[in-house]
Structure 1
């Protein structure tokens, strides 16, 4: 490359252009492309290396006068396509590339985040709507539950009151029935006949046991239906006397007769009745409630080996032995007192 100073000419034209005619001026200034690479570069104010040019074609004979001009033009003039690449340029290109890639990634991430955010926002809106609906349903259910709880509490209070009322009414009814039956005696074991006269049977019974009762003291005598239709025992006879004192006299007389005749206790033959001789039992006419209490007391007393169970004025008593105190059985709960 020619930079205005005197340079050593090369002799390559001898090998490249042996058969060509070259002027002396050209010999002094012309340098082939291979030798031009070893020449000092033109100073342009920076250290940018000059990119290699393609190998120049040798000039034609008719254009030998323009060789110097072409070499100088190629050495001095630089096109935009042959701009030097420096570290700064590479860094600038790398920064631009980074910015472009960063921008592309940022846009892609922003788009993805936007889509996801829209989806999450929609899901949150749907969840909020569902939660509001469930909250309303819960409040409605809670309100109904409170109402039902209040109703239940009121029903429990009413039920407790009704139970207390029923218990009180049952006691009153039992007391009224007991007073209504206080003049009655209940007789078990009298055989049934079509032509029977129950009043004569009661008179004969009173005479047999030695009770001071006449026919006028017997107000009414009837048979009552069986609770168990399949039972083979005769129906019970209920005798209504004039007053409770006569009832007690008859009961005491029967008790003394059985006590004096332990082997021949009161039976159907003592009443002048023909047929099979069957035992006859005389007791107070108890109310259904007291009958149930009496049966429960007898069963419990038998299990606990109590010796005495009896009824006096419609009330049930038990005693473990002769020296033990009597226990009044008022109701089913009192049966637990038999221990």
Structure 2
């Protein structure tokens, strides 16, 4: 038989007589199962028409050559299955695209947020620094203001204390204070004042005396008489009608420096008696401090006159008035006077 009349197998491309492929009975009048030649673009796949209904007439066969050589087990995919496959593929592609796009957008948004947070943190740190600076300046201003207010308050309080002290001293300018006079039970202070004036050589009647009384609290004495403890006498304060009478008694007391209680308080042993003008509470404290400083620095004179306190180092210097504690610190604080 000539080669022109020989039939060729569509599957393996060999002569029909030498082909091992199974024979297919295909009716000439029916083309529903026509085996198509493999395409040049996809040599490993072939498409045949499935013997299905009008809606399921497209099938795909994979590796038709291999199938032709190995018994021809064909795998058919219907149009509905193809649609599901395409749908799944499109869903997977969309999912991957969305994931990539969302991831990129999320990373971009995160980076932008981090940059904004860094800017916000930097601005917040700058604001905190400025706020701390303002707080420090405010604290410094408040401290200065408090210091100024305290200084002003201190000046005002000192002025008020000075004025109150002056007014209190003016109220007792007619008073005398007698210390060291023994105190007896049922004594008459006015009678004691008359006896003292008589002993000093000053005529003093009861009409010249406004009041006379013991002031202060009883303090135990530093000495004992026998087995009994003698109470230290309280001061006797005598208020006179006229200041001239008070000054006359003070001059007489300065002349009679050795004045004692004999002839005035007969029940007790004679004791040294001191007569001075009465001082206010503040002036009394200042006078005590002035005497202590004068004694320490060997200043010669410390005295009072009309409620005013004066100190003087010696005869060559003028008298210095003491009004408050600042004057004592100013006068005696930096003094280097030593014993002569």
Q: TM-score, normalised by structure 2?
A: 0.56
Alignment of 1:255-334 (within 5 A): 255-258=254-257, 265-334=258-327
Contact 1:212 1:249 in 2 (8 A): no
In structure 2, distance between residues paired with 1:140 and 1:324: 61
Secondary structure, in 3 states, of the residue corresponding to 2:271?
coil
Is the CA contact (8 Å cut-off) linking 1:178 and 1:314 kept in structure 2? yes
Partner of 1:42: none
Choose from 181, 184, 189 the match for 1:193.
184
- Any idea what SS the aligned residue of 1:297 has? helix
Mapped to 2, the partners of 1:229 and 1:274 lie a distance apart of 18
Matched residue of 2:262: which SS?
helix
For residue 268 of structure 1, give the secondary structure of its aligned residue in structure 2: coil
1:128 to partner: Cα distance: 4.1
The CA distance in 2 between the partners of 1:188 and 1:257, in whole Å, is 15
Cα offset, 1:324, TM superposition: 4.0
Corresponding residue number in structure 1 for 2:234:
235
Deviation at 1:124, TM superposition (A): 6.9
Counterparts of residues 54-203 of structure 1 (less than 5 Å)? 127-203=118-194
**Count of residue pairs brought into register by the alignment:** 217
2-structure distance, mates of 1:217, 1:244: 10
Q: 1:323 to 1:213 in 2, by over 3 A?
A: farther
Q: Is the 8 A contact 1:204 1:272 kept in 2?
A: no
Q: CA deviation at 1:333?
A: 3.0
Deviation at 1:146, TM superposition (A): 3.8
Judged with a 3 Å threshold, the aligned counterparts in structure 2 of structure 1 residues 302 and 289 are, in CA distance, closer, same or farther, namely: same
Q: In structure 2, how many angstroms separate the alpha carbons of the residues matched to 1:155 and 1:322?
A: 46
Point out the structure with the larger strand share: 2
What CA deviation, in whole Å up to 9, does each residue of 1:228-271 have, x standing for no partner?
Answer: 7898522222111112211111111111112xxxxxx2222241
3-state SS of 1:276 partner: coil
Q: CA deviation at 1:212?
A: 2.8
The aligned counterpart of 2:331 is 337
Aligned equivalents of 1:164 and 1:125: distance in 2? 57
Greater Rg over alpha carbons, structure: 1
Q: How does 1:192-231 map to 2 (within 5 A)?
A: 192-226=183-217
8 A contact 1:268–1:278 mirrored in 2: yes
- Does structure 2 conserve the Cα–Cα contact (< 8 Å) formed by 1:189 and 1:236? yes
TM normalised by structure 1 equals: 0.56
205-214 vs 139-148, which deviates more? 139-148
In the alignment, the residues of structure 1 paired with residue 138 and residue 129 of structure 2 have an alpha-carbon distance, to the nearest angstrom, of 14
Deviation at 1:190, TM superposition (A): 1.9
Deviation at 1:188, TM superposition (A): 0.9
Distance 1:228 1:171 in 2: 30
Post-superposition offset of 1:206? 0.3
Q: Which residue of 2 aligns with 1:244?
A: 243
Residue by residue, what CA displacement relative to the aligned partner does 1:170-189 show, whole Å, maximum 9, x if unpaired?
A: 11111101100100111111
Higher helix share: 1
Once the two structures are overlaid, the 10-residue window that deviates more, 306-315 or 145-154, is 145-154
For the 8 Å contact 1:203–1:213, the answer to whether it is kept is yes
Bigger Cα displacement from structure 2, 131-140 vs 163-172? 131-140
Q: Alignment RMSD, CA only? A: 3.0
Identify unmatched segments of 5+ residues in structure 2: 1-109, 223-230, 336-340
- Note the alpha carbon deviations across 1:128-147, whole angstroms, 9 max, x for none: 44333322333333334444
**Distance verdict in 2 for CA 1:152–1:324, change over 3 Å:** closer
